[in-house]
Structure 1
Amino acid sequence: MPEWSFTLLLNQPFTPEQADEFSQCDAFADGSAAFVLGPRKPEQYPVRSDESELKKLICDVEAPTLLDAVAQMARNIQLIPGLRGVGALMEDKVALEEAAQRCDRSYESLVQLSQEDEHFPEPLNPDTEGTVFYSWLHIADYLRRLGDDVPHTPRELVIADRTLRLVEDLRGTDVQPGVLRALGLP
């Protein structure tokens, strides 16, 4: 089963109590998700954490499809009281394995292109001995120049993101079910 890498956007940063709940929750025991916890008293630090970074759940999930993976994490995060998914995205920084998953090429094909084509995008971290990362936008643009039909964002991720955002926008609003059906929702 493929492993999908994406970021689930959360409605708020983790509190220390939610972080404790997360660490004890069986749904996350497999290490498929991680987050950054801000300091307990941020006012005591001269450099503030970027709150948008604290509202991200970094996910690597095994699932049949990307949409299934996002849905699984959106459901699981609700096990932590007060947290919910409000959007989804894929970061620009990718390893070639993840880039291959986002396009119709194999990992081997991308490795070969990276080694043999001088126009292949340069790595973001060329001097590292660990995992080499690239810009997905640069790889996608390069593949388009080769004639590949490569979207900037996979359609399944667009659907997941828009659905999570719509559900969040509908929270607390008084929209009649008939209106939602008239708009094409079940």
Structure 2
Amino acid sequence: MSEWSFTLLVNQPLTPEQADALDHCDAFADGSVSYTMGPENPEDYPHRPDPDRLRELSCDIEAPTLLDAVEQVARDIRLIPGLRAVGVRHDDTVTLAEAAQRCGPELFELARRHGFPEPETSSGGTEFYSWREIATWLTRAGRVVPEEPRDLLIADRALRLADVLEGADVSPGALRALGLPID
């Protein structure tokens, strides 16, 4: 099984109660999902956190595929009252292993070639690269690099559609006519 790294977007910033529930939920006991909390009184601080960052969960999940990993967290996050997944994305900053997840294990060999992008930062012995720079270099080297892995695209679009449909009054017939499978 592979470990997949991605950012899951949730419908709202976590409340202290939701953060506590997530911290004590057996489904997240392995520490594979982390979050950022804003201060209780953000108006008391000159620099407020970006509200979009407070709706992000950083995920490192073991699963057979990226789609399976996203599905697992999206399902489990509903165990926390009031939270649901509404999207998913990859970050630009990656380790070489994360970049290899996106384009294949041959990246480790390619990274030794002249002109491969240098790491942007290093922390505790781990080097971090820009995915955009790696993708540009791979494209110049004649490799086909999808902008987004298909599994990520499917998961993101499905979560966004589910979010739009949440509480909407759409008939099963309309959903079927749009090509969506209905149980």
> Residue type matched to 1:154 in 2?
P
Report what 2:39 is aligned to: 39
Q: CA shift at 1:107, angstroms?
A: 5.1
**In the alignment, is residue 164 of structure 1 matched against residue 159 of structure 2?**
yes
Q: CA shift at 1:47, angstroms?
A: 1.2
Structure 1 residues 123-142: aligned runs within 5 Å: 123-125=119-121, 130-142=125-137
Query: Partners in 1 of 2:45 and 2:149 — Cα distance?
Result: 39
SS at match of 1:121: coil
Cα deviation digits, residues 39-77 of structure 1 (max 9, x gap): 111121121110000000000000000000000000011
Report what 2:147 is aligned to: 152
Query: Partners in 2 of 1:21 and 1:105 — Cα distance?
Result: 37
Query: Partners in 2 of 1:73 and 1:174 — Cα distance?
Result: 26
RMSD: 1.3
Query: Partners in 1 of 2:45 and 2:108 — Cα distance?
Result: 46
Query: Partners in 2 of 1:164 and 1:73 — Cα distance?
Result: 12
TM-score (norm: length of structure 1): 0.93
Q: Which has the higher strand share?
A: 2
Cα deviation digits, residues 101-135 of structure 1 (max 9, x gap): 1103335314423xxx1x21121116x55211111
Query: Partners in 2 of 1:108 and 1:44 — Cα distance?
Result: 47
Report what 1:122 is aligned to: 118
Report what 2:28 is aligned to: 28
TM-score (norm: length of structure 2): 0.95
SS at match of 1:169: helix
Kept in 2, the 8 Å contact 1:96–1:110? The answer is no
Gaps of 5+ in 2: none
Gaps of 5+ in 1: none
Report what 1:183 is aligned to: 178
